[in-house]
Chain A
Amino acid sequence: MRASHSANPEAAPGFPDVSAQVIQELQRHLPTGSLLWQPETLAPYECDGLTAYRELPLAVALPSTEAELVAVLQTCHRLGVPIVARGAGTGLSGGATPHARGVTLSLARFNRILEIDPVARIARVECGVRNLAISEAAASHGLYYAPDPSSQIACTIGGNVAENSGGVHCLKYGLTLHNVLRVRGYTVAGEPIEFGSDAPDAAGLDLLAVFLGSEGMLGIAVEITVRLVPKPELARCIMASFGDVRDAGNAVASIIANAIIPAGLEMMDQPMTAAVEDFVQAGYDLDAAAILLCESDGTAAEVAEEIERMLEVLQAAGATRLEVSADEAQRLRFWSGRKNAFPASGRISPDYLCMDSTIPRARLADMLTAITAMQDTYGLRCVNVFHAGDGNLHPLILFDANDPGQLERAERFGADILETSVAMGGTITGEHGVGLEKLNSMCVQFSPDERSQMLALKAAFDPSGLLNPGKVIPTLQRCAEHGRMHVHRGLLPFPDLPRF
């Protein structure tokens, strides 16, 4: 078996073992087939997209109706049993890793599209609806849902809400938080609750803002209203090659500085380009040190104007080769490489760790240089794909989990990237979330007072502390232990740096 961590090192204490009782009670509320508790049926739920962390939950509940869902919540609440909500299980930070003493609440059966209103340009859907399914359902009205995480074929809108997911078009169209109007769901105790509104704002504090990206720790979302936008008439993509990563990084900053907000602006380094070209034959320039994909969308006239301006900027920034997609087939081919970055990495390495930090755009080249040096330090390769337009990095650290010590080295490599990102004025996670994976890095980014404030905020929504315990906000004790293990990191690097 692969080397992996048992999850929740700190969570099991404090939660009573009431497995027999909770299974017995849930059986009363859920039909056969909606409750899994025998170990062999639990195995598919032992991890999410972060496969290095595995744990068997006490049971998996798969309610099909809101009444069943409420019964699960009320039962767990009464018995003090942790609840871990789960959508499609594609999350990359362990947000849905089970809790050993908890119930995994699968929301996959809430998968109906309830309403598409083409005039109001909104879709009301259940949380288990796949991201791409929303756009497919809206397509006949010439509308789509803009945030497009790479896993959009599989990931659910409920999971997107939990993680505040991004994608390749965030710079122009925003993150999940900019595109969700309303969330209806339940508190930990099973009380109905609604955040946001079909109006542009809702009464009271903006609790929707806190709920979005809260990784299943504040409540359970069952119905989500999203904003739809008109499908652009046309999209074209420029593929630009650079002989030097620094030039490519500067080109990104230069595009923004020239008042252009491209629909997409992606960067890949040479090793990444080679890996994907070998996989999908996208026609990438294998001689380039880095390539940029710059997309423009809008009306034909708008696109022509913007492509012209971007070509000028890229030329001035030292591009060695520029190619504009001539038709939709070529545009999709340009993107096919980028979209297959992860599977292509899977082909060149038995395992990889995907990082997700964000840095100011101007530091892209510095970061690539730093990562190159880290490859020697940790003796592992790293290929890089960046949402360059918003400074969101996805370095993929390649390793072999069957080789003792490699997972641990890969994780230290990753932590080093995250800490470097914080030191550069960035953040440890741009769109994948903290989950279990980045708990230690949270100790680096936030002070004890800041973490205490976040824990107090969590308690305002979930006084029982039963929703996804042990995730996102590390306890003071955990950070203290982390500090002891990495004494030089007990303090922030560059303690004088304001971190924002």
Chain B
Amino acid sequence: MSTLPGIRTALHDAPEESLSRQALSRSGGAMPQSNDAVHPPDNAMPSRSLTPVSSDPEAERLRDAVRAAIADASPLCLQGGGTRAFLGDPVDARPLSVAAVRGIVDYQPAELFITARAGTPVAEIEAALAERGQYLAFEPPRFGASGTVGGMLAAGLSGPGRMAGGSLRDAVLGTVLLNGRAEILRFGGQVIKNVAGYDVSRLLAGSLGTLGIVLEVSLRVAPRAVASATRVYDLPDSDAIDQVNRWLAQALPVHASAWHDGHLYLRLQGARAAVDEACQRLGGEAMPADEAAAFWDALRDHRHPMLATRPGAESAEPPLWRLALPPTHPPLALAGKVLIEWHGGQRWLRSELPAATIRASVQAAGGHATRFRPGARPEPGVSSLMPLTGPLARIEQAVKLAFDPHGLFNPGRRPYAAPTA
């Protein structure tokens, strides 16, 4: 039996403890007493004695920065690890680094959650989870080693396993937010079932830092599957989409799929017996395990040749578009190179077609299109994100003002409607 350390030993673990302590000592916070910082073996009070984020001096520094920004009416460009700054539209505002509020605050494998300050590198979180045989089931794309969990939340992106393991938004359990009135607010929590008040935490996922500064986030984590296998099929795109969706309607351990250049890649994940059985039933060609791991990792982290932007080569490449579509929609007739993920739900397109052409086609199919990488000559006046229209645009803009009444955070990053009188 593959045994994870249970609740009894969960936090009596040197690496996690030292991580939190390093983080706190860096930020000048109080050092926790070791007995208080761990989950006692007799299930008494769990660890709650770490300095609350509201009294973390780094958080206080950010709060002062927001107060000053309110006073000077001078907006801020929030920066974490700087790996996802290309997302959304450019921001012209004073930079404010939020990376110093960092450290894993609480990780309880048996409770399936991890809580970390926003500046914690995603790599640090993934390493802590891996030690316990757990992972972030939404497999967030990593665009560099310095990427932070706050940036990950703001970007809201999920990777290959999203359709099986849920999206980043699905995994968000709680947040601590510094809003545009310089208030520190907690929403949600560490438990999976929680319907007290509005679900503000999940709203923050993908908001690109335009609603406030996230100081702390709690995420649901998942145990890694026992077995994994990848099968490869030679199929044209339309057949690939149809085939994988028909498999999904059966109780099969299909975890991820990708189509590119005439090949369908299918990742099966689950109990050993289920994966073996599915491999037999679904045929295809087996991909060696190490090759498969490298393939899915490259896809996830945008190192796949179709997605990668080589340093300095940006100007030579067509823009990279991310199309979110109803998964079973047939391939769109848009000229360019295509890579299909999420069983048809996420399609990448390298194309020189005008934004309006791409967006009209995608919208007619019931989806939306994001210009993910701008390419050589970004069309002037076209937002990389598809703006909303009608009452929805008005509500979105009002939501923005409800959190950030002075328009301080990342102005221009998202195409909010202009306030109406």
Contacts and interface: CB of A to CB of B under 8 A. Distances in A.
B140 to A, nearest CB: 14
Interface in B221-247: 222-224, 226, 242, 245-246
A207 to B, nearest CB: 7
Contacts of B112: 256
Interface string A169-182: 01100110110000
Interface string A398-427: 000000000000000000000000001111
Interface in B105-149: 105, 108-112, 115, 133-134
B186 A500 contact: yes
Interface in B142-198: 156, 162-163, 166-167, 169-170, 173-174, 176, 179, 181, 183-198
Given A175-B193, A202-B368, A430-B194, A299 B326 contact: no
B271 A305 contact: yes
A197 B367 contact: yes
A140 B386 CA distance: 38
B346 A200 contact: yes
Given A362-B111, A429-B196, A258 B3 contact: yes
B356 interface: no
Interface in A117-166: 117-121, 141-143, 163-164, 166
Interface centre among B109, B163, B197, B401 (most CB of A within 10 A): B197
A214 interface: yes
Given A194-B392, A213-B198, A199 B273 contact: no
B175 to A, nearest CB: 8
B2 interface: yes
Contacts of B194: 358, 427, 429-430
Contact of A205 (B46, B133, B206, B325): B206
Given A203-B386, A427-B189, A453-B183, A445 B200 contact: no
Contacts of A231: 251
Given A204-B388, A256-B112, A456 B187 contact: no
B253 to A, nearest CB: 8
Interface stretch (A26-34, A284-292, A431-439): A431-439
Interface in A302-355: 302, 304-306, 309, 312
A450 interface: yes
Contacts of A365: 43
Interface string B344-386: 0110000000000000000000111000000000000000011
B44 to A, nearest CB: 8
B324 A460 contact: no
B388 A203 contact: yes
Contact of B271 (A202, A301, A445): A301
A204 B397 CA distance: 10
B179 A453 contact: yes
B312 interface: no
B274 A434 contact: no
Interface string B276-314: 110000000000000000000000000000000000000
A204 B133 contact: no
A302 B195 contact: no
Interface in A94-122: 117-121
Nearest to A191: B391
Interface stretch (B5-13, B14-22, B260-268): B5-13
B185 A447 contact: yes
Nearest to A456: B402
A198 interface: yes
Contacts of A472: 197-198
A305 B275 CA distance: 12
Contacts of A232: 251
B259 to A, nearest CB: 16
Contacts of B273: 299, 301-302, 304-305
Contacts of A249: 43
Contacts of A207: 203, 392, 395-396, 399
B389 to A, nearest CB: 10
A286 B199 CA distance: 41
Interface residues of A, number: 111
Output the residue of A358, A456, A500 with the most chain B CB within 10 A: A500
B327 interface: yes
Contact of B48 (A121, A195, A362, A497): A497
A454 B190 contact: no
Interface residues of B, number: 111
Contacts of B39: 362
A359 B170 CA distance: 19
B35 interface: no
A433 to B, nearest CB: 5
A209 B183 contact: no
Given A261-B223, A360-B190, A233 B195 contact: no
Contacts of B218: 500
A353 to B, nearest CB: 18
Contacts of B166: 174, 178
Nearest to A229: B251
A253 interface: yes
Contacts of B198: 210, 213-214, 454, 457-458, 472-473
Contacts of B109: 257
A40 interface: no
B23 interface: no
B195 A164 contact: yes
A159 to B, nearest CB: 13
A362 B186 contact: no
A93 to B, nearest CB: 9
B336 interface: no
Given A301-B271, A305-B272, A201 B395 contact: no
Interface in B205-221: 205-207, 211, 218
| 4 smallest beta-carbon distances between A and B, as pairs | A301-B273, A259-B223, A460-B398, A430-B193
Interface of A: 117-121, 141-143, 163-164, 166, 170-171, 174-175, 177-178, 187, 191-195, 197-207, 209-210, 212-214, 230-233, 246, 249-250, 253-254, 256-261, 298-299, 301-302, 304-306, 309, 312, 358-363, 365-366, 387, 390-392, 424-434, 438, 442, 445-447, 449-451, 453-454, 456-461, 463, 472-473, 494, 496-500
14 contacts: A118-B249, A120-B327, A177-B170, A177-B199, A206-B169, A207-B399, A213-B199, A254-B6, A254-B7, A309-B1, A312-B1, A360-B108, A431-B193, A473-B198
